[in-house]
A and B are shown apart, each in its own frame.
Chain A
């Protein structure tokens, strides 16, 4: 009853029980924590459309997609891609509590289409490891990721909106997501011709 092995077993069993309860309490209490994320500014500044194609000479001759470069995904179709610039001011510090390991913040662009009616693409993301880094002020920030549509052609589509999301990664427990901040719709312009540097809104 009091051998070393039995004692070790008892200690280990007690440890796992306590660890289980502490983890449960930590995760449950953090779920009730009130979070108030404020987004002061979110705005799309400029959208530029470019075009890439692996058959550059062919497409130039055919009048499509001038100013392209080799296709980034080795496919043979002509692919348009858009680069956005945006402003963002947000304060995510209220999301940080005892159970927050990191906050993953991202800006996504949502736009419609005919074959695919619902499209959403993340254009920018960042990892906020602590409360001190959680105030975001971005002015005319270039999108990290360009948008290319599954169909390859999406110039001229209207009602493109930007939204700001966050994802709280806990130390233990349930992951939570939130979204705030929807801009007014902007439009994907036509493809830029090479040599003409015009910013379309």
Chain B
């Protein structure tokens, strides 16, 4: 004994040949759009929340080069923690030698994941100077730093030190960034799945 659902039927739509659209239910479509937007914003909130919790602008990074092999391969996922600056030198020591840090050289865009091989720190509140080197590289990273600088500043250039590791999972992002046409294909497929 249910009421028949109201159909959207106008003469103009029939004339335009869009008669199929009468089966479209605007409320359902809108709620699907809302769901999609909720999923997107939840993912964004999770990302930004993780960024705040770890105090790092990019708490999860993908390994791009092979300079840390055999520990890290291209496509591995790394979880960063950036709350170990400890510029008040004692009592808690900050970033130690042997930790693996991710840094952006000032003026360059690519994050580099290498191990700290040297550390020099003055009394509290002074910068912590670090020198890094990839395990698979013969020489340390001095050539990669900005001109005239021989050490990294822990607070300004390092975006976190590695605490967790998951293999392979990040290879999707590498493929997407190196083959941009795959992004459009992926978005197309996702769009089709929503509509169908």
Contact = CB atoms under 8 A, between A and B. Distances in A.
Contacts of B93: 118
B135 A122 contact: no
Contacts of A175: 100, 162-165
Interface residues of A, number: 33
B61 interface: no
Given A75-B150, A102-B71, A122 B98 contact: yes
Contacts of A156: none
B17 interface: no
Contacts of A165: 97-98
A73 B118 contact: no
Given A119-B120, A170-B165, A173-B165, A150 B97 contact: no
Contacts of B96: 120, 177
Given A173-B164, A177-B99, A104 B135 contact: yes
Given A104-B71, A165-B98, A175-B100, A149 B167 contact: no
Contact of B117 (A119, A122, A129): A122
A104 B72 CA distance: 12
B22 to A, nearest CB: 27
A117 B121 contact: yes
Interface of A: 23, 73, 75, 101-102, 104, 106, 108, 113, 115-122, 125, 127, 129, 145, 149-150, 165, 167, 169-175, 177
10 contacts: A101-B71, A102-B70, A104-B115, A108-B97, A116-B120, A117-B89, A119-B118, A150-B151, A171-B167, A174-B165
